[in-house]
Structure 1
Amino acid sequence: MGLFLLWFFFGIGIIIQAVYLLAIFGRTAWFNSSSKSSKNQNPEEGVTVLVAAHNEFHNLKTLIPKLFEQDYGKFDVMVVNDRSTDRTKRLLEEMMAIYPRLRSVTVKYTPKHVTAKKFALTLGIKVSKNDVILLTDADCMPTSNQWIRKMTAPVREDGRTFSLGFSGYAVKSSLLNRWIQFETILTALFYFSFGLWNAPFMGVGRNLCYRRSFFMDAKAFKGIWHIEGGDDDLFVNQYATGKNTAIVLDPEANTTSIPKETWKEYLVQKKRHLHAGKYYRGEDKRKIGLFPLSHGLFWIGGLGLLIYFGISQQWEQFSAVLGIILLRSFLVFRIFTSASKKVQGSATPMNILVNDFMYLGYFWVLGSVSYQAKDIQWK
């Protein structure tokens, strides 16, 4: 009975993993960027770049000049100063004297039963001059001066409501950073691949575009005001469809964020991100959950079979199981390497095979803790 269960787990894991790696993630890994052309109907519609910032003096000092290097004619920048106690307000006043298209609004307090970042974003969107809103964070940097043009093109030119972009993290030489690179590419494989399959379910607020008019018609964050986080993925999860959403898979349309330096900081951040997942639609939970479930079954069954056949010295069966594990490992390596090149323009160091095994504990342990957490907060 035990041997049957091991084969059953291993077999189910192989089948589902093959579907995800080849049929789903392969859409991103082997994406053909020339397969779609823009209609180019309204290339110069105004865009508002929106940044919600809480005590982000140092990051804004670098970001704001960088934003005004963008090669796009009609845009302004709106910074929502959310209850900052550092020198953010003075910096914004000085910057507005230098950059006439920089605007700011200040949040002095957050109403009860409303989460801080959603309130800040809502206020910023309400007072924005333009209907096309491009969101990013204060600790993010556009990877090129074409960021605005390329990220907003599906909304401006093709009539889409949402365009979903990639936001990576700066590369550093540490085990934590290589895990961050791996997990960020895996997340992109999920939401890009399903988006390319006309079944979008999330986006990241560090690089997200949608229309102000749609946001207002949807009554802002109605139904998710009380949830910490989710201003990006839950909002997209509620309203994105295959018809109204586009994936922007172009290294020039990316942003790059400052990565966490310690495991403690990273785990706090990821707990907030994973917590929002409990509020996804049921079908989207299944999209996400089937991959780690099959991943776990594959490794439990595979390692169990290797141990059993090794002890009983059944080397033919041992070799067959080991061969399947090595084949999957090769496929995972190729998928992640290719996806990194497609998404970022280059393959970042991420210890792919080691981190693939570490993912066993990451999803089930941190995911379970995040699902039940009640101490989630933005800043």
Structure 2
Amino acid sequence: MHFPLPTLTEAILLVLVAVSFLLQLWFLLRRVRPLAFYKNKYSNAEFNKPVSIIICAKNEAENLERFLPELLEQNYPEYEVVVVNDTSEDDSDMVLARLKAKYPHLYYTTIPKDRIFRHGKKLALTIGVKAAKYDYLLLTDADCMPAGKNWLRRMVAPFAGQKTEIVLGFGGYNKEKGFCNLLVRYDTFFTAIQYLGFALSSKPYMGVGRNLAYTKQLFVGNNGVKSHSHILSGDDDLFVQQVIRKDNFALSLDQEAHTISIPPKTLRDWRNQKGRHLSTSGYYRAGVKTELAIEPISRQLFLLSSIILVFFNTFAIAAAGLWFLRLVLQLVLWARTAKVLNQGKLFWSVLFFDIIHPWLLLWAKIGTFNRRKSTQWK
């Protein structure tokens, strides 16, 4: 059935389709393509200088018991693991003491609970960096498991480059059943496409604390997290944004360099976690914020205007053709990226989340408005 549209409306819709398609094409080719065709130039690099692994933990006794031995048994000549036990009220101290007896290269310190002074993760991180005795630092979380015994070796390999001061890694989540788990893994995959793709296309802006390395001198020389200490979150992304340049970082995306975390179990848990992460995005550089906003907006405009043109049978072939072209290009690039990040067939989820994911992010962002004065640790 044909529903004629006013010429002006047709023209506006056609312009929207064309402009939004070009913006999407630019994002896919400029930001996603470098990651999709990523080649690890440090696969044969050897770096053997001592490393300090730093973990900030709060009420993580169960995860420390489960995952810390994996970190303490890495295939690397000389390293230490520094755990900052931040005001925990569970059995973390007992677990750490027991593990210390077995692993002499484990060191830990405890921040006592203060009824008046309340702090976030940044204090624990600062204490951990000060306690570290080596010049190269590798950060992860208590609920993260390294992909294998060579995780440490592979993550610090890029430090073999003369100018490398920061190494960006990837941290994924366990695959489980259910919609929430699919959302968590898709969102993590999409976030990685953004920050890793931006970095490979000469616009680095963040890293994730689940799998991140930098030099101690870089942290100390830039006064650590002092410039954004008033912000609850941002111990990873805001610090990286502060110190990263086009020539002082590298990526380590070897599958052995990944970490695997325990995913949030419910949509509410994911929303709270994602909301905390999104709360720092307002402090990104203007150019990065603009581009991160333009991508989902142009995506929604493209999909909506294409559907309207096809539905009203006006320029239907052109609109459907552009939609199909973008979809094929996206699937090809995302399939290659999923292979790079060892995410299997997760890329197929884009067929569903391409439309609803921005709205779920908006839902998580709105949730932060009611929690701005929260003192939640991470």
Q: Where does residue 378 of structure 1 map in the other structure?
A: 377
Indicate whether 1:107 and 2:106 are aligned: no
Which of 2, 5, 10 is the aligned partner of 1:3?
A: 10
The 3-state SS of whatever aligns with 2:139 is strand
Which of 16, 19, 22 is the aligned partner of 1:12?
A: 19
- CA drift of 1:33 comes to 2.6
Q: Where does residue 297 of structure 1 map in the other structure?
A: 301
- CA drift of 1:140 comes to 0.3
Instruction: Show CA shifts across 1:248-296 (max 9, x none).
Output: 1211100011111100000000000111100111122123222112112
Distance 1:227 1:196, change over 3 A: same
Distance of 1:53 and 1:365 partners within structure 2: 28
Q: Where does residue 266 of structure 1 map in the other structure?
A: 270
Q: Where does residue 227 of structure 1 map in the other structure?
A: 231
Query: Percent of aligned pairs with the same residue?
Result: 33
1:1-379 residue pairs with structure 2 within 5 A?
1-34=8-41, 40=46, 43-109=47-113, 115-309=119-313, 314=314, 317-344=315-342, 346-348=344-346, 351-367=349-365, 369-370=367-368, 374-376=372-374, 377-378=376-377
Distance of 1:372 and 1:279 partners within structure 2: 19
1:222 is matched by which residue type in structure 2? K
Distance 1:171 1:291, change over 3 A: same
- CA drift of 1:359 comes to 2.0
For structure 1, which segment, 150-159 or 229-238, has the greater mean C-alpha deviation from structure 2 after superposition? 150-159
- CA drift of 1:330 comes to 2.2
Distance of 2:12 and 2:308 partners within structure 1: 10
For structure 1, which segment, 126-135 or 278-287, has the greater mean C-alpha deviation from structure 2 after superposition? 278-287
1:27 is matched by which residue type in structure 2? P
Distance 1:113 1:302, change over 3 A: farther
1:45 and 1:156 in contact (8 A); partners too:
no
2:331 and 2:347 in contact (8 A); partners too:
no
1:166 and 1:188 in contact (8 A); partners too:
yes
1:161 and 1:210 in contact (8 A); partners too:
yes
Q: Which runs of 5+ in 1 are unaligned?
A: none
Distance of 1:338 and 1:111 partners within structure 2: 51
Distance 1:80 1:26, change over 3 A: same
Distance of 2:236 and 2:118 partners within structure 1: 15
Instruction: Show CA shifts across 1:146-199 (max 9, x none).
Output: 111111122355331110000000011211212222211111111111111222
Q: Which runs of 5+ in 2 are unaligned?
A: 1-7
Distance of 1:31 and 1:360 partners within structure 2: 26
1:292 and 1:363 in contact (8 A); partners too:
no
What's the TM-score once normalised by structure 2's chain length? Answer: 0.92
- CA drift of 1:138 comes to 0.5
For structure 1, which segment, 361-370 or 193-202, has the greater mean C-alpha deviation from structure 2 after superposition? 361-370
2:320 is matched by which residue type in structure 1? L
Could you say what the CA RMSD is over the residues aligned between the two structures, in angstroms?
A: 2.1
Instruction: Show CA shifts across 1:303-362 (max 9, x none).
Output: 2222332xxxx5xx2233123212222222222221111112633476221011112412
1:178 and 1:349 in contact (8 A); partners too:
no
- CA drift of 1:109 comes to 3.8
1:181 and 1:350 in contact (8 A); partners too:
no
1:6 and 1:300 in contact (8 A); partners too:
no
Distance of 2:226 and 2:267 partners within structure 1: 34
2:377 is matched by which residue type in structure 1? W
2:45 and 2:157 in contact (8 A); partners too:
no
Distance of 1:7 and 1:273 partners within structure 2: 36
2:29 is matched by which residue type in structure 1? L
2:20 is matched by which residue type in structure 1? G
1:141 and 1:256 in contact (8 A); partners too:
yes
Distance of 1:243 and 1:118 partners within structure 2: 26
Distance 1:196 1:112, change over 3 A: farther
- Number of paired residues? 370
2:87 and 2:112 in contact (8 A); partners too:
yes
